Each structure stands twice: as C-alpha cells, then as structure tokens.
Structure 1
Amino acid sequence: MDLQLHGTTALVTGAGSGIGRAVALALAAEGVRVALLDRDEDALSETAAACPGSSVHVADVTDEAQVDAALGSLDRLDAVVCCAGISGPVGAGIEDITLAQWNAVFAVNVTGPFLVLRRVLPALRAAGTASVVLLSSDSAFVASPGMAPYCSSKGAVAQFARALSVDLARDGIRVNTVAPSVVDTPMSRGDLGDAALDAPDFPVQTADEVAAHVAYLVSPRSRAVNGTTLLSDFGYTARSGFPA
C-alpha cells in the first residue's frame, strides 16, 4: 500500500537507536525527509547516513534550552514521532527507588515529548494537517513487577496523547500512541539480558514491526484515527482470567 508520505517531513526523537532508528529508516524509505533528534551525536550520525536528505539535531529531550536550540530551524513538519525513552529502575520496589530515579524516568518519557511538541507546534500547524505519534508501551495497561516508574510514565504518555488529540483537533493535528509489548532493542537487552531475547519463551517483536505501525499512523491513510492507542501485544490483554 502506498502510504502517501513521499515528500513530507517528519521529526523523530530517540533516532539514534532502537525503535527511533527503525522509525526513521521506515519513514525515509517512504520518501519522508526526516529530522533526527538524539543526545548521542555519533549514533545519530549513523542513522542519518541511512536516511538520505535527513537533518541532524543533537539535544537531550529533558533540557528545554537544548530542545529549543536544536529545533528552532524547523519551520514546517507533517509529523512528529517521539521515541526517546528510558526504562529506569527494573526489579525494584518503590522503597528502593530514589526521587531522582523516579524524576529521571518522567523527565525523558513524559516531559521530553511535552518540550519537543511545545517547541515544534508552530511547524505542525504550518502543515495544515499533521500527525503526532508518541511511543507508549503495553506497560500503560499492564504492570510488570518492579517497574512502577516506567509503567506510570507510559500510562501518562497515553493520556497525554489523548488530551493533545482534543486540544489540537481544531488545528488539523492528529495525536495517537503506539504501545508495544517487549521489543528487541538495546534498552530491552540491557534490562532483560541477551539470553532472554536470544531464546525468548515469550512473544517478542522487532523494532521494524513497531515502526510499521508508526508509519501507518503518520500517514494520511489513517486520517480518521485520532486520540487512540494502537496496542501491539500479541493479544495478551484480550485474554480473560476465567479458568476455562
């Protein structure tokens, strides 16, 4: 299917690795001119090399001044995809989590999209019709032990997107989220270990599969989809606990 994205522009955060890199490559393959943002300049340069015509913007999404400086040159955007994220403490109860650790997770996962979108909102409005996709997680709906900061932040991301979809509808800007279950990324491997993902006993998806969901939501093909979350979890949350 032609996603009708050729010649459009999109900003992708967290584009240096993982889902962000996969999204950047998928959009570039559709003919999108991508603006790539990450705090890791070397990783960002590697992604840019695979995305013809892309621009590189180095910034930490939690730093307002860096975000404003990095994105000030963007005057029109047809889409923004916020992929930058961290997992924070894994396997820790809240009694063992410091306030600094809690705040760090929310700073990247929730405040980051807020700062980025606030800065580029004029560029999105200039497009006439635009699409925003935020990366949430199935952890917005179910919880794994010892991941309270991450689960809470991803729930906040999903609700942030719903609120924005209402606020920005009059501007022709759609806002949706993609909420995948475990994805084979460097972050997941850091949390779970290589062995758990090399021979998993649970369903695992690739970053490319998530990027395909994002590309659809970015495209005009999904113009009637707004304020919702695409939950890609192999049907796990649909299962009843009824013993039958």
Structure 2
Amino acid sequence: MTTSPSSRAAIPAPDGSPKDDMDLQLDGTTALITGAASGIGRATALALATEGVRVALLDRDGSALKETANGCRDALVLVGDVTDEDQVAAAVDAAVGSLGRLDAVVCCAGISGPVGSGIEDIELADWNAVFAVNVTGAFLVLTHALPALRAAASVSSSASVVLLASDSAVVASPGMVPYCASKAALVQFGRALSVDLAGSGIRVNTVAPSIVDTPMSRGDLGSAAFDDPGFPVQTAAEVAAHVVYLVSPRSRAVNGTTLLSDFGYAARSGSPA
C-alpha cells in the first residue's frame, strides 16, 4: 500500500452544476471512500469534497485514484486492495492518522464478476472473488474503521457508514447470480450492522441504484447499450448525491435502511391487468 497527499481546490459540483443552497453540515468532517478510482466511488469523493469533507481515497488503481484526488481538496491517496486485511488495516490507520478522525466510511468498491453465465459455468474462484470484494471487503474495512467511527460519534454523536449495493439486491437479470447474491448480502450486512451499532451514534445505510453509467456498467453491457438505451440510466453523480445526504447529519433519523433508486421499477407489478 502506498500513500500520497493531493491538494487542489474542489470543483463546483461533481456534475458541473451549481451547488444547491441546502447546508448538509459536512464542512470540516472526514470520510474514507473505497473504490474511489472511478464510477460511483469517484463521484462520491468529488461530491463529499465539494461539501468541505476531507477525504481519504482507497482503491487498487493508483493512477486513476490520483485523478480523483485532483478534483478534491487535500485528498489522501491510499493504494490498496479491500480483500487484503493487512492492506485494509494499514489504509485505515493511514486515513485516521492523516485526517485526525473518521466521521464516515463509504464502501463503493465492487466488481460485477462473470456476467451472462449460468452457475454451472461459473468457477468457484470467480464466485469467491465477487463476494471477497463486494461483501468481505466492506466487512474488513468496517472492522478496522469502527474504533475510529466510535471515537468520532462519541464527540459529535454522529458518524455514518454508507454501503453501495444495487437494485440487483432485490431484482435479478439473467446471468448475474454472483453479483445479485453479493449485493443482497451487502444490504442485509448493512441492516444487521445498524442493529449491532444501535445507540452508538453510528448510522449504517445502503444505496441501491439501478443501471448507472460507469466504466463497469459499460464493460458489462457494452458502450453501445448507452447510446440510445431503452431503459433509464443514472449518472454516478446522481447516485453520489444520495450517498452524501446519507452521510450528512441531515439524515440523522435514517438508519438501517436501503435507498432504492430505480425509477420505481421494483414497485411495478408484472401483472398485465
């Protein structure tokens, strides 16, 4: 694992639009974001930095991570693998040491694994890899981050964990069994953890978006699928806005829940009536 600081002024907003007038009360707080090199993780890092949050960014891709840091203010770059406990422990220690405290953890690191394959064609190693990143990675990060989150909550009565799941936790597409199962596990992990931490001042919530225009989605579906999609598509910045709200004290009553942002698809009946 390597670390390096980066210091540049925050951009106006992650999608280039003007900031709204709602004060999310995040200025001066701190956060660790995993999977921050691209996609939703990058958008979340930029959105939090725009709100005045001092961020530590963790990902395996060091060069892409530095690009994210260039859009943040005084970001700490942490190159490491969330499936390696020693690297996770070192990253969390470095984040707390540099930031001085840890008010929030956002777990965005994730992989899709084999897409388009039935389970009889999926190797055990590929199945395990999906769960190692999507579920065990969050477990490792939070196991090591909880002491710092507890310390922050004891001072401010407010600390937050946000896990990035997917609408695939509640609905399924063909050929995505490992991904769907891992995201469902992540949702229940967050719910159970919120119960364990009740009364501690640490809230745990999950965001579960439908299709988001990210490099991973384009890799799975093909870039052509986004040229004239027959389905609604979110931007990473839109999902990041949900995350930022759940991190903020403005959502202090929201705990142990999943924000399903899927344009209402899961609410619709398949009945032709």
TM-score by length of 1: 0.99
Structure 1 residues 73-82 or 176-185, which shifts more? 73-82
Alignment partner of 1:227 out of 256, 267, 273? 256
Unaligned segments of structure 1, at least 5 residues: none
Structure 1 residues 183-192 or 45-54, which shifts more? 45-54
Which residue in the other structure is 1:147 paired with?
176
**For 1:238 and 1:212, how far apart are their aligned partners in 2?**
22
Correspondences of 1:77-96 after superposition (within 5 Å): 77-96=102-121
RMSD: 0.7
Does the 8 Å contact 1:57/1:71 carry over to 2? no
Does the 8 Å contact 1:35/1:55 carry over to 2? yes
**For 1:37 and 1:170, how far apart are their aligned partners in 2?**
28
Per-residue Cα deviation, 1:91-124 (whole angstroms, up to 9, x for no partner) = 0000000000000000000000000001111110
**For 1:46 and 1:71, how far apart are their aligned partners in 2?**
21
One-letter amino acid of the counterpart of residue 14, structure 1: G
One-letter amino acid of the counterpart of residue 168, structure 1: L
**For 2:229 and 2:104, how far apart are their aligned partners in 1?**
34
SS in 2 for 1:230: strand
Alignment partner of 1:187 out of 216, 228, 236? 216
Quote how far apart the aligned CAs of 1:59 are. Answer: 0.6
Structure 1 residues 227-236 or 192-201, which shifts more? 192-201
Correspondences of 1:41-56 after superposition (within 5 Å): 41-56=62-77
Quote how far apart the aligned CAs of 1:197 are. Answer: 1.1
Matched, 1:218 2:239: no
Alignment partner of 1:57 out of 49, 65, 78? 78
**For 2:114 and 2:228, how far apart are their aligned partners in 1?**
24
Quote how far apart the aligned CAs of 1:223 are. Answer: 0.2
**For 1:169 and 1:32, how far apart are their aligned partners in 2?**
25
Give aligned pairs, total. 244
SS in 2 for 1:72: helix
One-letter amino acid of the counterpart of residue 133, structure 1: V
SS in 2 for 1:169: coil
Correspondences of 1:191-210 after superposition (within 5 Å): 191-210=220-239
One-letter amino acid of the counterpart of residue 47, structure 2: A
Quote how far apart the aligned CAs of 1:152 are. Answer: 0.1
One-letter amino acid of the counterpart of residue 198, structure 1: D
Does the 8 Å contact 1:38/1:44 carry over to 2? yes
One-letter amino acid of the counterpart of residue 143, structure 2: R
Matched, 1:165 2:165: no
Which residue in the other structure is 1:69 paired with?
90
**For 1:48 and 1:165, how far apart are their aligned partners in 2?**
30
SS in 1 for 2:199: helix
**For 2:198 and 2:164, how far apart are their aligned partners in 1?**
20
**For 2:80 and 2:141, how far apart are their aligned partners in 1?**
10
Alignment partner of 2:45 out of 24, 41, 55? 24
**For 2:182 and 2:39, how far apart are their aligned partners in 1?**
19
Quote how far apart the aligned CAs of 1:242 are. Answer: 2.2
Which residue in the other structure is 1:34 paired with?
55
**For 2:135 and 2:263, how far apart are their aligned partners in 1?**
25
Correspondences of 1:102-181 after superposition (within 5 Å): 102-128=127-153, 129-181=158-210
Structure 1 residues 230-239 or 67-76, which shifts more? 67-76
Which residue in the other structure is 1:97 paired with?
122
Which residue in the other structure is 1:8 paired with?
29
Per-residue Cα deviation, 1:122-180 (whole angstroms, up to 9, x for no partner) = 11011112010000000000000000000000000000000110111221100000000
Identity of aligned residues (%): 79
Quote how far apart the aligned CAs of 1:67 are. Answer: 0.8
